[in-house]
Structure 1
Amino acid sequence: MSENFSEFHDELRTVARDLLGKAGETAVEWPALARAGWTGLEVGAGFDGAAATFTEIAILLEEIGRAAARTPYPAVAAAGIGALHLLEPNSRRDAVLRETVAGTALPVAVLGGDMVPAAGGETACAGTGGIVPTFELVQTGPGILLSGSAEYVLDLPAATVLLVPARAADGTLGIAVLEPGAPGVRITEQPVVDATRSFGRVAADDVALDPQSFLPFAATDRPLRHLYDRAALAVACDSLGIAAAMLDATVDYARVREQFGRPIGSFQAVKHACADILVELTIARQLVAAALTAMAGTSPDTSRTVAMAKSFTGEAAVRIAGKAMQLHGGIGYTWESGIHRYLKRATLNRSLYGSPADHRRELAQRYRDH
């Protein structure tokens, strides 16, 4: 992150921590996020936004992970607004952007959480970056029909607008803009062990679209891959926040918890465990920062750096949360400690948008290809 904006970033982090802290374990109210300017942070000034970058969004995503907060903001900010920015400008897209900034719309891009790059990458899926859309458009006389499904779509139950990546019959890639209650659209909530997030399955069975509802991607290289990378990096930021929270909680506990008449933080084994957590957290932070820099500069290596950040940070957060639970002793396994919330969230993050094995397999394929 640029040092020129370090003061602004520190202030943004402080405000986010205060806002999320007031919500506690309850869901963060969406109007409160809109009033704080979060919904328009990455949107241009022409839509009443702040014209910031994904780097600023990443700060908020990390703080949401640190608080294990219940909010659809990650799905809207990372994939929803990201998808809208990739589309050709038109009145429908612009209206959704304005409503999102105002806090009256929650656009969710229909990216399945179990989605991973297809085998063969660019060769198998030319123009998609290895990401295959699971929805297809079929022209039937004057009408257009949309069919397909996606599993484990993050924050789908909260969506007021569905942004469905789809491929037209002529191969054109774009986004179908749908209302959740449109005829032929079926949404089913999918429960997961992590109670801080919501997921759903969406299926479209020959849903009739008017021509203005399918918006083609702008002349962007690999738009679906870019959208997938944003979603994966957002989860890595969340995992980074989880790891940071667990380190802080463990160090604070080790300072006050006494055993044999002295704080347990003075014991060598505890010191070494906390040092190991700090090392993993530092590496994860560097990898996430490198991925953010690559994404901001539209580097051709963005997918590679995102894969590295997602794979390492996803695993590290699970290890750190597990170690934090162990270092808290018996109380760490109780419901009241709250550590279980972070461990469950970190475990889910590890598999969202590709497991560490999926990303490392893709990295290995890239090195073999070169």
Structure 2
Amino acid sequence: MRFDLDDDQRALADTVDSLVARRGDLRAAIEAGYDTALWRTLCDQIGVAGLAIPEEYGGAGCTYVESHVVLERLGATLTPSPLLGSAVLTAQAVLAAAPPADRERLLPDLAAGRSLGALAWADAAGRWRADGSDVTARPTGSGWTLTGTATLVLDGADADLLLVVAGTRTGVGLFEVSPDATGVTRDVTPALDPTLRFATLTFRGARASALSTDAAPALRRVRDVAAIAVTALQVGAAQRCLDLTVAHLRDRVQFGRPLGSFQALKHRVADLFVEVETARSMSWAAAWAAAHDPDDLPLRAALAKAWCSDAFTHVAAETIQLHGGIAITWEHDAHLYFKRAHATAQLFGAAREHRRRLLEYV
């Protein structure tokens, strides 16, 4: 089997590249949180938020692979956007756990980019557990109340749709709560990677409605898809690091010769090329499993997240080393890729956690 993009997927990637090149401004987007005009254009003209949402719920009816393609292209440019937190994580949680009536109510606005969703899940240790969280849900006469704290909530400070993973007396559930509800506090969490936006959400008896009270199987899938989505960001950024490094070694002259002509540096760049290509193969294989092979999804997700996290961390570090002094200046983007590498290495499970998961398949 040959894993490669088809003509439509290549056209999608090229369109996203072209739009971001014309409209994107990374430093301005970091200051603003994300470029709302660019996000609106990505949603209106390309439909990126609805790619993996079925047509019956207002989406494009594509597979997850198409969203993966867009994530990789946005990862290459470090473009801040709600795609991961809203269009992938929140939308996949609704698709996996919510009943049809709630899907019909929630997904069309997410697919169009009119609504910004956030999934409150990670516990105080930064773990996305399928068996619960640090939030507990208690039944009341007319619904549920939530108490506890969720950390590392992507886009949680600005979302108008909040979903919360909470433990119940019988297991784990997925709940919807209004961002403006009494008892909900949202605090921005400073991040190592300035292109990612996190928040800490605290619930003190906040009223909520249940989308599912038996969400563990759905959450396992959502966690795997989220980990695979992060690998797309990592692969795109690792490829851009490699491209920047090769260009620098070709153009930078030292001792009367281009740096790239030195054999030792050629060997180091060749090793980086192997790491990037292997990471891309594992990431795409995992994306294919997310779209077509649910039985193979957990294994592929663990393999891809472990490998891509380590590979991108090494490539980003070598990018700084091979660029020399310019790479540690604010004006150059190398430090931003280095921060992205270390941040995404922890997001939805560190490499060691996913390698531990692989023991389940031995």
| Deviation for aligned residue 1:59 | 0.7
In structure 2, C-alpha distance between the alignment counterparts of 1:332 and 1:144, rounded to whole Å: 51
Does residue 93 of the first structure (1) align with residue 100 of the second (2)? no
Q: How do residues 1-370 of structure 1 correspond to structure 2 at under 5 angstroms?
A: 6-21=6-21, 22-25=23-26, 26=29, 27-29=34-36, 30-35=39-44, 36-112=46-122, 115-116=126-127, 128=130, 131-171=131-171, 173-209=172-208, 213-216=209-212, 222-364=217-359, 366-367=360-361
Amino acid at match of 1:70: P
| Deviation for aligned residue 1:214 | 1.1
CA contact (8 A) 1:20 1:28 kept: no
Go from structure 1 to structure 2 and tell me whether the alpha carbon gap of 1:143 and 1:10 turns closer, same or farther (over 3 Å shift): closer
Provide the alpha-carbon RMSD of the alignment. Answer: 2.2
| Deviation for aligned residue 1:87 | 3.1
In structure 2, C-alpha distance between the alignment counterparts of 1:138 and 1:250, rounded to whole Å: 54
In structure 1, C-alpha distance between the alignment counterparts of 2:349 and 2:193, rounded to whole Å: 17
| Deviation for aligned residue 1:245 | 0.6
Amino acid at match of 1:73: L
CA contact (8 A) 1:217 1:223 kept: no
Query: Helix, strand or coil for the counterpart of 1:328?
Result: helix
Query: Helix, strand or coil for the counterpart of 1:187?
Result: strand
In structure 2, C-alpha distance between the alignment counterparts of 1:117 and 1:161, rounded to whole Å: 19
| Deviation for aligned residue 1:143 | 4.2
Go from structure 1 to structure 2 and tell me whether the alpha carbon gap of 1:309 and 1:3 turns closer, same or farther (over 3 Å shift): closer
Q: Which runs of 5+ in 1 are unaligned?
A: 119-127
In structure 2, C-alpha distance between the alignment counterparts of 1:326 and 1:215, rounded to whole Å: 49
| Deviation for aligned residue 1:167 | 3.9
Go from structure 1 to structure 2 and tell me whether the alpha carbon gap of 1:298 and 1:204 turns closer, same or farther (over 3 Å shift): farther
- Give per-residue Cα distances to partners, 1:108-145, cap 9 Å, x unaligned: 12232854476xxxxxxxxx5xx434333212344422
CA contact (8 A) 2:144 2:210 kept: no
| Deviation for aligned residue 1:2 | 7.3
CA contact (8 A) 1:86 1:217 kept: no
Amino acid at match of 2:242: L
In structure 2, C-alpha distance between the alignment counterparts of 1:256 and 1:320, rounded to whole Å: 20
Go from structure 1 to structure 2 and tell me whether the alpha carbon gap of 1:96 and 1:315 turns closer, same or farther (over 3 Å shift): same
In structure 2, C-alpha distance between the alignment counterparts of 1:221 and 1:202, rounded to whole Å: 21
Q: How many residues align?
A: 351
- Give per-residue Cα distances to partners, 1:158-186, cap 9 Å, x unaligned: 31101112344344x44211221211111
Amino acid at match of 2:310: E
In structure 2, C-alpha distance between the alignment counterparts of 1:273 and 1:101, rounded to whole Å: 43
Amino acid at match of 2:356: R
| Deviation for aligned residue 1:8 | 0.7
Amino acid at match of 2:211: L
Query: Helix, strand or coil for the counterpart of 2:70?
Result: helix
| Deviation for aligned residue 1:4 | 8.9
Query: Helix, strand or coil for the counterpart of 1:52?
Result: coil
In structure 2, C-alpha distance between the alignment counterparts of 1:33 and 1:199, rounded to whole Å: 22
Query: Helix, strand or coil for the counterpart of 2:335?
Result: helix
Go from structure 1 to structure 2 and tell me whether the alpha carbon gap of 1:343 and 1:246 turns closer, same or farther (over 3 Å shift): same
Amino acid at match of 2:19: L
- Give per-residue Cα distances to partners, 1:46-86, cap 9 Å, x unaligned: 23321011111111111111111111211112211101111
Go from structure 1 to structure 2 and tell me whether the alpha carbon gap of 1:4 and 1:201 turns closer, same or farther (over 3 Å shift): closer
Amino acid at match of 1:77: A
In structure 1, C-alpha distance between the alignment counterparts of 2:142 and 2:48, rounded to whole Å: 41
Query: Helix, strand or coil for the counterpart of 2:157?
Result: helix
Amino acid at match of 1:12: L
Query: Helix, strand or coil for the counterpart of 1:147?
Result: strand
Greater Cα shift, 89-98 or 152-161? 89-98
CA contact (8 A) 2:132 2:165 kept: no
- After the TM superposition, which segments of 4 or more aligned residues of structure 1 sit over 6 Å from their partners? 1-4
Q: Which residue of 2 aligns with 1:125?
A: none
Amino acid at match of 1:215: L
Amino acid at match of 1:104: R
Go from structure 1 to structure 2 and tell me whether the alpha carbon gap of 1:157 and 1:221 turns closer, same or farther (over 3 Å shift): closer
In structure 2, C-alpha distance between the alignment counterparts of 1:333 and 1:42, rounded to whole Å: 38
CA contact (8 A) 2:126 2:152 kept: no
In structure 2, C-alpha distance between the alignment counterparts of 1:46 and 1:4, rounded to whole Å: 28
In structure 2, C-alpha distance between the alignment counterparts of 1:83 and 1:107, rounded to whole Å: 10
Go from structure 1 to structure 2 and tell me whether the alpha carbon gap of 1:97 and 1:217 turns closer, same or farther (over 3 Å shift): farther
| Deviation for aligned residue 1:327 | 0.9
| Deviation for aligned residue 1:104 | 1.6
In structure 2, C-alpha distance between the alignment counterparts of 1:208 and 1:265, rounded to whole Å: 61
